[in-house]
Amino acid sequence: AIPFFVIELVRMVDAAHATPAMDALAQAALAETLPANVSALILRRLAFLSQPARQLLDAAAVIGVQFPQTLLRQVDRLEDDSRIHALDELHRHVLILHERGDAYAFSHELVGEVIYQQLSDVRRHHLHRQIAEAMVSIHADDLTSVSHQIAAHFERADCLLEAAHYRAMAQNRADVRKT
């Protein structure tokens, strides 16, 4: 965690100096006040992001460490152009990395965890439900392959009937694989 903290600290200071909206006084004040821990450091770095980038990060944090753009597209409510700009911004700030195809991942799992923890319960539940419903739509031809993940998102959204349905589907799939 120490190397991650140092790297994030350097990125935060770089971001502060690269942000045109900040005047010299604000940049100096930021450089003088060091965050007390990794969470505070990450939250401080997030303060420099545009609203679409934050919106995308919130959805991504609820999806998990890795997140496909096809799923984000159904959850983040951004126009395609705004999503691309937000992804570029997050990549420039080294908060996310492009994996392969349309898959992205957080640069470090702590980034996603901190974002997830700062979401309100209402927002978190709402996003989990949206993600579960989007996964049902995206994987309509083969729900059994992702039924465990769908069930987990419905559970975290407190949609227990839907969660039970997809848990049963996942169990049936596991039983079939055993035979």
Q: Which helix (H) or strand (E) holds 29?
A: helix 24-32
Per-residue pLDDT of the chain (179 residues; tens, 9 = 90+): 556 666 666 666 566 555 555 455 555 555 455 456 778 888 888 998 999 999 999 999 999 999 999 999 999 989 999 999 999 999 999 999 999 999 999 998 889 999 999 999 999 999 999 999 999 999 999 999 999 999 999 999 999 999 999 999 999 877 777 76
Pairing of strands 66-68, 103-106: antiparallel
pTM for this prediction: 0.78
Between CA 108 and CA 103 the distance in angstroms is 15
